[in-house]
Amino acid sequence: MRDWLLYIRFAFRYAWENDTLRHVKHFQRWYKDTRSGGSALDRELPWMTYDAIDFLGSICTPGSVVFEWGSGGSTLFLAKRCRHVTSVEHDSKWSGYLRERLETLGVDNVDYKEIPGEKIADWEARDYRNPDDFVSGDKGSVGLSFERYVKAIDPFPGGSFDIVVVDGRVRNGCVKRAIPHVKRGGYLVVDNSERAYYLEGVPELQDTAVWEKQEFQGPIFFQHAFSRTSFFKKR
């Protein structure tokens, strides 16, 4: 009963705020997942909205080359469907756990990079809403700069990736840095994009002559919450 009431509460609030009822169709799927006791990593699925998971799977090909900030079930999902994945993670504990999982499963097409935040003296003078300040609004990241983490994509030539997934720290900075590295016809994927500052600091994505936007809203896999995932296809 609690799950039903929570879903109804979130569904009505989300429908009111976003003028959509598409998420209603996912109740049964969401209910089974939340009751299963599993996790996105166990199921080898991205921690995204259901429509976003389905769409991401549809754009993966055996030849796709992928870059992602933020690792987990998405890393396994992408590695299974694509030629190569470069994955960047800031959390050392989670990194160790995922490396072990990759090794156990015999995954050999993932270049996994652990790049933690670094302490800085001027953290309070920076603004997490500015993509060029490289700081996070997350309370666990106070005092840290994620400049090296965000710039992990820089050494790659322009147009290197068919898919770039932004689902980690300093997402606005990662989005801005990713833009030149997405191939024409490729996708830039931004999870939890209802947080407006993820995209507000990157006006380039508003150019409809270059980017075609598609968004998926609804319940999040294994969580009592709703969210939005945005896909930007480079024309």
In DSSP notation, 49-114 reads: BHHHHHHHHHH--TT-EEEEES-SHHHHHHHHHSSEEEEEE--HHHHHHHHHHHHHHT--SEEEEE
- Over 90: is that where the pLDDT of 149 sits? yes
Closest CA to 168 of 197, 204, 138, 211: 138
pTM of this prediction?
A: 0.90
In the chain, pLDDT over 70 holds for what percent of residues? 88
Which carries the bigger pLDDT value, residue 219 or residue 165?
Answer: 165
- Over 70: is that where the pLDDT of 136 sits? yes
- 11-65 pLDDT, tens digit per residue, is 556 554 554 555 566 777 777 777 777 788 888 999 998 899 999 999 999 999 9
Per the structure block, which two tokens stand in for 30?
Answer: 């969401």
Domains of the chain: 40-220+227-234 (3.40.50.150)
- 73-95 pLDDT, tens digit per residue, is 999 999 999 999 999 999 999 99
pLDDT confidence band for 227 (50 / 70 / 90): confident
Q: Are 164 and 67 in contact (CB under 8 A)?
A: yes
pLDDT reported for residue 128: 97
- Over 90: is that where the pLDDT of 217 sits? no
pLDDT reported for residue 14: 56
pLDDT reported for residue 9: 59
pLDDT reported for residue 29: 77
DSSP characters over 199-232 = HHT-GGGG-TTTEEEEEEEEEBTTSS-EEEEEEE
Whose tokens are 């389905």? That residue is 54
Q: For the residues 160-180, what does the mean pLDDT come to?
A: 98
- Over 60: is that where the pLDDT of 10 sits? no
